[in-house]
Amino acid sequence: MTDLAPMPSPAELKQTVFEALVDKAALPVRAMVWLGMLAGVYIGFGGLFATIALSGTQGLPYGAGQVLAGLVFATGLGLVMIAGAELFTGNTMMTGAMLAGQIAPAQAAKALVVVYAANFAGSLLLALLVFAAGLHDSHNGAVGRAAVDLARGKTEAGFLATLASGILANMLVCLAVWCAYAGETVTQKLAGLILPVAAFVAAGLEHSVANMYLLPYGWLVQPVASPAESAITAVAILGNLVPATIGNIVGGALIAMAYFAAFAKSGAESGAPAISKGQN
């Protein structure tokens, strides 16, 4: 049996992640769009799985149901990391690679904007497909009611609460991505990411890309599953996504900047690649 490589040190892992981010920033726009749409779909699949789980947890204590939803939601990030896709929230760690002189600020900004839009497009496409499939009628409409309850809870939070929640959410998501890069096998990558993802979902924290699926789907289902409800509106969705996105950017930057500060060398980083100019 082939021996696995030893666990990378924190400094080695930082370099691995930053080099991966350099490659992501250098992708052609066409690749960013397609891979970004896939990531929106994949994270949406995690949201769908979590919604189904929540629809059957009425008899469980609150914490148990939320942890179950978090564990199955990890499917989404698992697909992103293993199948390969471009996720806005993970890519916010480009801030650290920028500080290391490995990515130009304009290049990072372009990558983040393109991938964010593509994530949104993929999420909306999945929401429409799931609605058309009638999954909200499953279990006598329990799935639809769970979707509305989840979306309504997210749109009712205030700006500052959603902003802070977004920071916490993406600190955990970026740590999940960071830990997944430490693994060499599918099993190791899944083991690295599952608990941080489960933690952010169980705590009800705000992940902008997950909400790109959960909120539009809740809005679509609301007239059918909960006709008396009207809390989920386009304005309410925007009121969640704006602070959640800002918070996610801050949360991802905090993780990347902390590891950059911890392991930065004086002057240019030894062995760091030059700023990417956009070539593959």
DSSP assignment letter at 184: S
Taken in order of first residue, the domains within the chain and their CATH numbers are 10-262 (1.20.1080.10)
Q: Using the predicted structure, report yes or no on whether residue 258 has a pLDDT greater than 80.
A: yes
3-state class (DSSP) for residue 228: coil
pLDDT of residue 268 exceeding 70: no
Residue 24 contacts residue 56 (beta carbons within 8 Å): no
Beta strands in the chain (DSSP E): none
pLDDT tens for each residue of 30-58: 999 999 999 999 999 999 999 999 997 77
pLDDT tens, 164-180?
Answer: 999 999 999 999 999 99
Q: What is the pLDDT of residues 110-129, one digit of tens each?
A: 999 999 999 999 999 999 99
Q: What is the tens place of the pLDDT at every residue in 130-141?
A: 999 999 998 888
- pLDDT of 9 above 70: yes
Quick one: which of 85, 100, 94 has its CA closest to 112? 94
- Confidence band, pLDDT 50/70/90 cuts, at residue 280: very low
Q: Please list the helix, strand and coil fractions of the chain in percent, rounded to the nearest 5, in that order.
A: 75, 0, 25
224 pLDDT band (50/70/90 cuts)?
confident
Q: Is the dihedral of CA 225, 230, 231, 234 positive or negative?
A: positive
- Scored b (16 or more CB within 10 A) or e, 8-26 reads beeeebbbebbbbbbebbb
In the chain the first and final C-alpha atoms are separated, in Å, by 35
Residue 237 makes CB contacts below 8 A (sequence gap 6+) with 155, 211, 215, 216, 219
Banded pLDDT at 4 (limits 50, 70, 90): low
Percent of the chain surpassing pLDDT 90: 82
Q: Which of 120, 125, 66, 131 lies closest to 244 in space, CA to CA?
A: 120
For residue 139, the model assigns a pLDDT of: 84
Residues 6+ apart with CB under 8 A from 244: 162, 163, 165, 166, 169, 206, 207, 208, 211
Comparing CA positions, the residue from 255, 253, 246 lying closest to residue 179 is 255
Inform me whether the pLDDT recorded for 279 exceeds 50: no
pLDDT category, 191, cuts 50, 70, 90? very high
Q: Is the pLDDT of residue 3 over 70?
A: no
What does the pLDDT read at residue 270? 44
Please state the pTM of the whole predicted model. Answer: 0.91
Question: Which pLDDT score is estimated for 226?
Answer: 76
**146-162, pLDDT tens digit by residue?**
999 999 999 999 999 99
Tokens in use for 6?
Answer: 């030893």
